[in-house]
Every structure is written in structure tokens, then in C-alpha cells.
Amino acid sequence: MKILFHPDRADIHLSSVLYALSDPIRLYLVDTIYKSGERTCGDIDVPVVKSTVSHHARTLREAGIVHVRMQGTQRFLSIRTEDLEARFPGLLAAILQAHQNSGELIPFATT
């Protein structure tokens, strides 16, 4: 089984976190996981192909925002809330609150 890289708490950098959360799909993924708890990549309904969701999950993992737990062929995502709060107190909550207040909760338009 492949070992996935997760940065140590001290190696989580503000610029990486902000970059990862600057994408609307990734922000939506984080918001959804934050509200509902651990989820698999396939549990979250986004209008992109599976490989793109995997790419976004990797970006979030490498930035230190999510922890990915592998079980069989599934990957479970959870927010590294304690680590983010220890490094940047209030940042994640503020970003998610601003995201919810913006009204742009779904990163895609249905036409």
C-alpha cells in the first residue's frame, strides 16, 4: 500500500493553506467535510471527474488541510482542525464563515 505524505504540524505553511483554499472546488470540499465529518472522495457531489477530485484531495492533503485515510480502495478525508487551529488560530473558521456568507456555497452553476 502506498504511504501518503501528510506534512507535520510545524510544516503547514500559511501560503500553502491559502493557495489550496483559493480554488472554489477545494473550498467546497473542505466546507462539506467540515460540516459533515469524514467523507470519501466519491461521497461529495461535485461536477468534475474522479481524477480531478483526486487532484484536489492531494492538493488539500499536501497543504496540511485534510488527512487522508486509506481503507481498501477508498480514501477517507477529514479536516486537520486541531493542527490548523494550533498553527493559525481562527483561520479555517473565518474562511469557512466568509465562504458561507458569500452565498457561493456551490462552486458550479447548473444551467
Q: Cell 452553476 appears where?
A: 109
| Domain 12-100: assigned CATH number | 1.10.10.10
Q: What pLDDT band is residue 105 in, cutting at 50, 70 and 90?
A: low
Measured CA to CA, the distance from residue 76 to residue 49 in angstroms comes to 17
Ramachandran region, residue 73 (left: φ > 0; alpha: ψ -120 to 50; beta: rest): alpha
Model's pTM, two decimal places? Answer: 0.89
- Give pLDDT tens digits for 70-98: 888 889 999 999 999 999 999 999 999 99
Q: Which residue has the higher pLDDT, 16 or 73?
A: 16
Mean pLDDT of 23-42: 92
Higher-pLDDT residue of 65 and 74 is 65
